Amino acid sequence: MCGSKNRIGEIEKTMLQNNNRTVPPIKCLPEDERPYEKCWNRGERALSDAELLSVILRTGVTGESALDLSRRIVMELGREGLSGLYHLSTVQLMQIRGVGRVKAAQLKCIGELSRRIAGKSLHPQEISFNDPETVALYYMEEYRHEECEKVLLIMLDTRGHLLGEEVIASGTVDQSLISPREVFLSALRRRSVNIILLHNHPSGDPTPSEQDILITQRIREGGELLGIELLDHIIIGDRKCVSFRRENLL
């Protein structure tokens, strides 16, 4: 009887250990499924989004390896994929099971790092401010992920050299407040003779609205009185842009 009780106790202990065991770490996976080895053997471009995340996160949580957790995070981000990291706050990321303060900070830093790298593909000295595509490329990563509209004033000298830039307005998704007065006060402070307006459409569609066209006309007309030329108004969408100059809207 005593022996039977001991045997039952061992079985219960084994069952408890099995229920609480964690998923084997990544190093226990077959070599061709391990992100580190895959990166070394085939290059970083061979890694999926989840595998890239797992390399950076390094550790999983109880019941999940770093790779399994990363796969679930990518699924939670939905159709946007990794670009969804731009749009979720750390608090929202922490609502994903297994993501605490540290991992939420890591995820946000991944998004910010990628934005900065993409934004540094050009230097201000390399921008041709007569080429809307070049200007849009330089500002694309900074502005296409914004949740609300932001209006940037780019101020240039007579030779088209950058004197400075300033965010002159920000608003909700459906309304942006641009004050011609603020535009010209900033331009005059910098002694700028040429300006470019640039703003984003959070919807991702850079098609100008009627309001965009009207305010652009007002600023162009005001600039003519002050001797400050509005060279262009560029609207940033999701990897797309519209130039008022190219579309003959100026």
Report pLDDT digits (tens) over 66-123.
999 999 999 988 877 887 887 788 899 999 999 999 999 999 898 888 777 766 655 6
Phi, then psi, of 69 in degrees rounded to 5: -65, -45
Tens digits of per-residue pLDDT, 148-201? 899 999 999 998 889 999 999 887 655 556 788 889 999 999 999 999 999 999
CATH topology of domain 124-243: Cytidine Deaminase; domain 2 (3.40.140)
Domain map (residue ranges) of the chain: 2-118, 124-243
Calpha distance 141→151 (Å, rounded): 15
pLDDT at position 152 is: 95
Q: What's the whole-model pTM score?
A: 0.63
Tens digits of per-residue pLDDT, 22-68? 455 666 666 667 888 888 888 888 899 999 999 989 888 888 889 99
For residue 8, pLDDT over 60 is answered with no
pLDDT at position 25 is: 60
Residue 32, SS3 per DSSP: helix
pLDDT at position 5 is: 44
Query: For 180-237, what is the HEC assignment?
Result: HHHHHHHHHHCCCCEEEEEEECCCCCCCCCHHHHHHHHHHHHHHHHHCCEEEEEEEEC
How many Cα neighbours within 13 Å face the side chain of 94?
A: 8
For residue 9, pLDDT over 50 is answered with no
For residue 141, pLDDT over 90 is answered with no
Is 198:138 a contact under the CB 8 Å cutoff?
Answer: no
Residue 60, SS3 per DSSP: coil
> What does the block give as tokens for 159?
């030779």
pLDDT tier, 7 (very low <50, low <70, confident <90, very high otherwise): very low
